[in-house]
Amino acid sequence: MKVLVVGSGGREHALCWKIAQSPLVDEVICAPGNAGTALVARNAGVNATDLEGMVTLARTEGVGLVVIGPEDPLCMGLGDRLRACDIPVFGPNADGAYLEASKVGSKEFLERHRIPTAGSRRFDRSGLAKGHLESVTDWPQVIKADGLAAGKGVYVCDDVKSAKTAIDQVMEERRHGEAGNRILVEEFLEGEEASVFAITDGSTILILEPVQDHKQVGEGDTGPNTGGMGVFSPVANLGTRVHKQIEQRVLVPTVHALRQENIDYRGILFVGLMLTDSGPRVIEYNVRFGDPECQALVRRLKSDLVPILLATATGTLESIEPPEWDSRACVGVVGAAGGYPDTYTKGDPISGLAAAEELDDVVVFHAGTRDKDGDVVTDGGRVLCVTALGKTVEDARELAYAGYDRIQWDGKFCRRDIGDRHAGKAPVLDDPGDF
């Protein structure tokens, strides 16, 4: 079987790497891919948001499965277009992807189905939103642009003044374009943040191993948000009781609600949660794998991923045995281009990739890289993610940094505290069970 992976980031390199190991697969095609995907797949020059081009590629290549990595093509309806041609797809249709495409839409969904979340008001005019804030006594408040804003459309505001500034930036200055047509003004939730990844075909739910990202650019969680600067798995500070609560109060009700609304959801449900005193509450839904969370998950997954993806795409997930996970920990360190997440240069030559992978249990997943006349050069803000397995998170972390230090390009940087949270800083949220 041929498998087509849509996208060009570290997540897609990790998916191609894992899928290429399956005995069920003859060839992996990645569109558009990067210099890393080219090592394990055949890159095809079709952009992820070129729906017409992608459908043509899938049809002419006769692929047996399409795995859609990023949110944009999912929200634009690539899943619908491929399914209309009877091609099995891992990833929801546009109606399911609306959970990520619209924060107002997902809030209404959560409220309709009484799934726990933060209280909120929605506004499509800045004056009304500001007027509302004048009467608010509880601070902070959270201002959220409705549409896709690459993780940058959320503002936690400590007072009326900063909230009004955020509203102006989103609704008047159009900092996130059309995404700012509407906003949510949301109650600030206190607690520990956690995220959960589940695969569902709309009936069966398969919860994946716990994994944690580091969203901010600076050590100690400082500075602006990014796509994700590093990852570790497993996450020992979530206990079995919390795990059960998340399953029973959030995941199962979400899948029931999707069915009730006739949304045929086949793919990833990635739920961002706040673990509050009154239990888990949903902060956001994403409809695709996290990046770099996916990189750590595929490193720890011992089972073949392809039967799981295919069963999800064809609605037969119930027939799949629970996957086997490596008991070792994984740490992934993202190397970024100087200046990220603001402006940065592209085209800088990268050396030392092979030397890094000479270390046992180190795999480098490319993100913003491309091939330039046989050399690998930088081509994005997050350039690559060095992953390592180790007996403990501490061991894996040491090895991941050893790999990272063998790689060079001008201006590279990383966070040096990936996985620190695991090393005793965060409280255990109930018992240290097996979650």
Nearer to ligand AMP, 272 or 433 (CB): 272
Which region, judged by CB under 6 A, interacts with ligand GLY, from 61-69, 283-291, 347-355, 368-376? 283-291
Hey, which residues between 195 and 224 contact ligand GLY (CB under 6 A)?
A: 213
- Residue 209 interacts, among ligand GLY, ligand AMP, none and using kind-specific CB cut-offs from 5 to 8 Å, with none
Counting contacts by CB under 6 A, is residue 293 touching ligand GLY?
yes
Smallest distance, Å, CB 18 to ligand GLY?
Answer: 17
Counting contacts by CB under 6 A, is residue 304 touching ligand GLY?
no
* CA 254/CA 285 separation, integer angstroms: 10
Report CA Rg, the chain.
21
Counting contacts by CB under 6 A, is residue 341 touching ligand GLY?
no
- Residue 293 interacts, among ligand GLY, ligand AMP, none and using kind-specific CB cut-offs from 5 to 8 Å, with ligand GLY
Smallest distance, Å, CB 346 to ligand GLY?
Answer: 21
- Residue 213 interacts, among ligand AMP, ligand GLY, none and using kind-specific CB cut-offs from 5 to 8 Å, with ligand GLY
Task: To the nearest 10°, report the CA torsion of 13, 304, 312, 115.
Answer: -80
| Residues that contact ligand GLY, how many (by CB under 6 A) | 8
Nearer to ligand GLY, 35 or 271 (CB): 271
Nearer to ligand AMP, 38 or 129 (CB): 129
Using alpha carbons, list the distances in angstroms from residue 378 to 2, 29, 292, 340, 422. 29, 22, 17, 12, 31
Which secondary structure element, helix H or strand E, spans residue 250, and what is its range?
none
Q: Phi first, then psi: give them for residue 336, nearest 5 degrees.
A: -120, 160
Give the residue from 42, 412, 26, 19 showing the smallest Cα distance to 229.
Answer: 412
Smallest distance, Å, CB 228 to ligand GLY?
Answer: 3
330 and 213 in contact (C-beta within 8 Å)? no
Residue 324 tokens read as: 């086997």
Nearer to ligand AMP, 284 or 420 (CB): 284
DSSP code of residue 304:
-
**Helix or strand or coil: residue 189?**
coil
Smallest distance, Å, CB 319 to ligand GLY?
Answer: 29
Smallest distance, Å, CB 217 to ligand GLY?
Answer: 13
DSSP code string of 72-83: HHHHHTHHHHHH
Smallest distance, Å, CB 75 to ligand GLY?
Answer: 14
Residue 66 tokens read as: 């399409």
- Residue 12 interacts, among ligand AMP, ligand GLY, none and using kind-specific CB cut-offs from 5 to 8 Å, with none
Nearer to ligand GLY, 36 or 69 (CB): 69
* CA 103/CA 121 separation, integer angstroms: 12
Give the residue from 95, 185, 178, 77 showing the smallest Cα distance to 134.
Answer: 185
- Residue 154 interacts, among ligand GLY, ligand AMP, none and using kind-specific CB cut-offs from 5 to 8 Å, with ligand AMP
Where would I find the H helices in 84-215?
A: 94-101, 103-112, 126-134, 160-167
- Residue 283 interacts, among ligand AMP, ligand GLY, none and using kind-specific CB cut-offs from 5 to 8 Å, with ligand AMP
Residues 6+ apart with CB under 8 A from 16: 5, 28, 30, 33, 37, 40, 41
109 and 144 in contact (C-beta within 8 Å)? no
Smallest distance, Å, CB 246 to ligand AMP?
Answer: 16
Which region, judged by CB under 6 A, interacts with ligand GLY, from 13-21, 31-39, 110-118, 288-296? 288-296
Identified binder of ligand GLY from the candidate list 180, 267, 290, 380, rule CB under 6 A? 290
Nearer to ligand AMP, 151 or 323 (CB): 151
Counting contacts by CB under 6 A, is residue 233 touching ligand GLY?
no
Interface contacts to ligand AMP, rule CB under 6 A: 118, 142, 151, 154, 156, 186-189, 193, 272, 274, 283-284
Residue 191 tokens read as: 């607690």
362 and 386 in contact (C-beta within 8 Å)? yes
Where would I find the H helices in 33-144?
A: 37-40, 51-61, 71-76, 78-83, 94-101, 103-112, 126-134
The residues of the shown chain that bind ligand GLY, judged by CB under 6 A, are: 151, 213, 227-228, 286, 290-291, 293
